[in-house]
A and B are shown apart, each in its own frame.
Chain A
Amino acid sequence: MIAELGQFALILAFVVALFQSVAIFAGLRTGDAVVHGFARTGAMAQFVLVLAAFACLTVLFAQSDFSALVVAENSHTDKPFLYKLTGVWGNHEGSMLLWSLILTGYTAALAWSAKPVEARLISLTFAVQSLITAAFTAFLLFTSNPFARLWPGPENGQDLNPLLQDPGLASHPPMLYAGYVGFSITFAFAVAALIEGRVDARWARIVRPWALAAWTFLTIGIALGASWAYYELGCGGWWAWDPVENASLLPWLAGTAFIHSLRVMEKRDTLKAWTILLALMTFALSMVGTFLVRSGLLTSVHAFAVDPERGVFILGILIALIGGSLLIYGLRANLLKPTGLFSEISRESTLLVNNLVLAAACALVFFGTFYPLFVTTVSDETVTVGAPFYNNTFNPMIGALLILVPVSGMLAWKRGKLMPVLKDLAPAGIAALAGAIAAFWIADRGLVAGALGTALAIWVGLGVLTDLAKRFKLGQIAFSASLARAARLPLGIWGMAVAHFGVAIVVFAITGVSAWKQEASAFLMPGEHLDIRELAITLDDVRQYEGSNYIAEQGRFTVRRGQQVVADMTAERRLYPVRGMSTTESAIHARATGDVYVTIGQPSPEHGWPVHVYLYPFAVWLWIGSAVLGLGGLLSLLDRGRRALAAKPKVKPVIAEPAE
């Protein structure tokens, strides 16, 4: 009964979305005023219907109703209740339903928050958004029905992949999807602007919060995914450049370029066609990320089902949406005329360089991800593109970009002077150089990479602080006056500073975990120890116990530096009998200066337990830095841009809308 209700709600959602899209397009053509009102009601209706379908699926999972096919395939009565619920999106059908839920959630949020301005633009945006919803609900209904029945239902389900039973993973897809799908709104706005043939600073101001919200979600989602890989996969690999990870990085790079060029458009009314193209590309890459990777085109046999019928359907949707939007772009983008001019040395030009580098980096990752596919398509050979490729191409590119970050923030709009900025940044430059030399001196491995990474992190971090100090006039005026200036600083500037400081932290952490990591492994009997650097890791004992749906072997370790005990750690290996799969629960001793990471493997009777120890310097700063990065996005998001409006009398009509 519940499954049928969910199915019915989903069908209705599809019908409403399709009808709404057609009605708006038709209504706008005939100039019918009713469509504007209907656009909002329809958006709300879609959301409520998909929410109802999602709630039904959740109930099916909560009740372990194995007569529903997805529940039977992906759940089990022995599973902890929380993971039964997260199991809703731990499979293809459910994750697609979640995708649609977030999509309609954004549409509803737009309906709820949109001010009665630019009614045509907003209505067109709803039309495009509903078209996307119609396409994906159709995909669900026709190829991936989450409410398919299995009759008679089996006694018990087939469990969820134990690797997916982890709080980090359970929260990571919703976050990631909120990021991916958030860019659908900016995509819809871009298509609407193209249809209108007009885009300006006001468009940028309306779109900005949506772009920043999506970007912030995506940033946090990627960080959660990386931390899941770090803690759960058992080798501390937080980033392996595998297709699934690249799929989330691609829209992030394009989206980062987008929010920067959006700023240029908002302030200076230029780079219009480029900004619109970035808006289209970001969502296109989001869809490529979710679907091409999931369709079995690139992923391994362990991922979601490989099904050609689904693949063809998805390909059809992608061709219609991406190809269609790019066709409109080709036809209409020439109408978007820039008005603001800028010289070679200006903030605009540095942001343009930022955009070009990010776009190139994005193209590079795209190439690296899909090149093996191209080669297998045209010949019988199989090639692989691994981490060395990205380290030699992507990293230098991003490194060069980071040099520009502090300079860009301090240059004036339109026409800037380079020398004063460089003079202000000289202390940061000297500190970066000193840091590089110190890192080179102290480290015994990864010398060049470590020195460069340290220098970049210090340069960006101190550059940001210098920029802020300059804005506060710190030291030039009374301290209280500086504080007052700080309090008046727009949130957008705070957001930029915080986000860039987060970048500095992440860069330093990446340098630590990749350039200076160390590993060692050996077979240990209880009482034996393994040395790594100045640490001795002793296997004290191993015991077995039974968990709720697994059997575990738990090794207890003591970490000593000389005679002094640094930490007690317990690492586990769990066997999940229902799936016949085992997972490692690594023991991690985290400190600000780095993690000690221990895993235990399958024992051999003669040699004992294989123990693998890794040292990851500054690993914890990866997560702290990512959080700071996300906080920066959030701060910028909260900036309503009122000051920018007041400062520009040119766009007078806009001042009339107080809350925008």
Chain B
Amino acid sequence: MNRVFLFLPLAVFVVMGVYFALGLREDPSSIPSRMIDRPLPAFDLAAIAEGEPGFSNADLDGQVALVNVFGTWCPPCEIEHPMLMQISRSGRVPIYGVDWRDEPGAGAAWLARNGNPYQRVGDDPDGDLAFELGITGAPETFLIDRQGQVRFHHVGIIDETVWRDTLLPMIEALETE
């Protein structure tokens, strides 16, 4: 057997070792979603403030929409927020919010302060819905089609690039379906 060939496993390992060493400094936020092409679980969340509507499956009926899981305790959500406001102002797609594991009233106060990009916001204080959705951290966003199926699951912040290159083309495709 060619002797050089026997060092191939070592070479492969060294290359991977370099990646892992680099990867250790990265944020471990990407894991595959198990929600893709499955209907959203049945849910009916209470409102985050008195007198406001809650959020349930029925609100999503027949439209392409984004469902964004956020929390006021989550710094990346603050970073993401202006982008959601911008999408909301453009009126391109309705955004629904799930307020995950917040203190009572905190979500409403936070939205009053920063602006509210959501059509409706549901309160998920115990993380029941978030658990069923397989949420691992906030913010995470689901793209829902007209049949209420999850078509895309974005983990992490939606920024200009994600919106322009990923979400917008998918939304356009789904609207023509």
Interface residues of A (CB under 8 A from B): 234-235, 237, 240-243, 273, 277, 280-281, 284, 292, 295-302, 306, 308, 311-312, 315, 318-319, 322-323, 326-327, 329-331, 333-334, 370, 372-374, 376-377, 382-388, 521-523, 573, 575, 580-582, 601-602, 604, 606-607, 610-612
- Interface of A, secondary structure class, is mixed
Q: How large is the interface on B (under 10, 10 to 19, 20 to 34, 35 or more residues)?
A: 35 or more
Given A323-B14, A384-B155, A601-B128, residue A374 in contact with residue B19 (CB < 8 A): yes
| Cα-based distance from A338 to B82 in the complex (angstroms) | 66
Please tell me if the beta carbons of B136 and A301 are within 8 angstroms of each other in the complex. Answer: yes
Please tell me if the beta carbons of B31 and A604 are within 8 angstroms of each other in the complex. Answer: no
On chain A, the residues within 8 Å of B39 by CB distance are 521
| Cα-based distance from A370 to B32 in the complex (angstroms) | 11
Please tell me if the beta carbons of B42 and A523 are within 8 angstroms of each other in the complex. Answer: yes
On chain B, the residues within 8 Å of A607 by CB distance are 44, 56
Please tell me if the beta carbons of B42 and A601 are within 8 angstroms of each other in the complex. Answer: yes
Given A372-B32, A384-B31, residue A277 in contact with residue B9 (CB < 8 A): yes
Query: Does B156 lie at the interface of the complex (its beta carbon under 8 Å from any beta carbon of A)?
Result: yes
On chain A, the residues within 8 Å of B153 by CB distance are 384
| Cα-based distance from A391 to B44 in the complex (angstroms) | 33
Given A388-B36, A575-B126, A601-B128, residue A297 in contact with residue B6 (CB < 8 A): no
Report the minimal beta-carbon distance from A366 to chain B, rounded to whole angstroms.
9
| Cα-based distance from A611 to B44 in the complex (angstroms) | 12
| Cα-based distance from A557 to B51 in the complex (angstroms) | 34
Q: Which one of B23, B45, B127 contacts A377 once the chains associate, using CB atoms below 8 Å?
A: B23
On chain A, the residues within 8 Å of B33 by CB distance are 384, 386
| Cα-based distance from A607 to B59 in the complex (angstroms) | 14
On chain B, the residues within 8 Å of A234 by CB distance are 132
Q: Which one of A240, A323, A582 contacts B10 once the chains associate, using CB atoms below 8 Å?
A: A323
On chain B, the residues within 8 Å of A383 by CB distance are 30
Tell me the B146-177 residues at the A interface (CB within 8 Å): 153-156
Please tell me if the beta carbons of B22 and A301 are within 8 angstroms of each other in the complex. Answer: no
On chain A, the residues within 8 Å of B19 by CB distance are 370, 373-374, 377
Report the minimal beta-carbon distance from A382 to chain B, rounded to whole angstroms.
4
| Cα-based distance from A43 to B13 in the complex (angstroms) | 30
Please, could you name 30 A-B residue pairs with CB atoms under 8 Å apart, sorted by A?
A237-B34, A243-B31, A273-B6, A277-B9, A297-B20, A299-B31, A301-B28, A308-B25, A311-B24, A312-B24, A322-B13, A323-B10, A326-B13, A330-B10, A334-B3, A377-B23, A377-B26, A384-B155, A386-B34, A521-B42, A575-B126, A581-B127, A582-B126, A582-B131, A601-B128, A602-B129, A604-B46, A604-B56, A607-B56, A612-B41
Residue of B nearest to A300 (CB): B136
| Cα-based distance from A302 to B128 in the complex (angstroms) | 15
Please tell me if the beta carbons of B24 and A386 are within 8 angstroms of each other in the complex. Answer: no
Binary contact track B29-65/A, C-beta < 8 Å → 1, others 0: 1111110110101111110000000101000000000
Q: Which one of A241, A302, A331, A373 contacts B30 once the chains associate, using CB atoms below 8 Å?
A: A373
On chain A, the residues within 8 Å of B41 by CB distance are 521, 601, 610, 612
On chain A, the residues within 8 Å of B127 by CB distance are 581-582
Residue of B nearest to A373 (CB): B23
| Cα-based distance from A273 to B2 in the complex (angstroms) | 12
Please tell me if the beta carbons of B30 and A372 are within 8 angstroms of each other in the complex. Answer: yes
Please tell me if the beta carbons of A240 and B34 are within 8 angstroms of each other in the complex. Answer: yes
Residue of A nearest to B7 (CB): A330
On chain A, the residues within 8 Å of B154 by CB distance are 382
| Cα-based distance from A330 to B43 in the complex (angstroms) | 57
On chain B, the residues within 8 Å of A329 by CB distance are 6, 9-10
Report the minimal beta-carbon distance from A579 to chain B, rounded to whole angstroms.
10
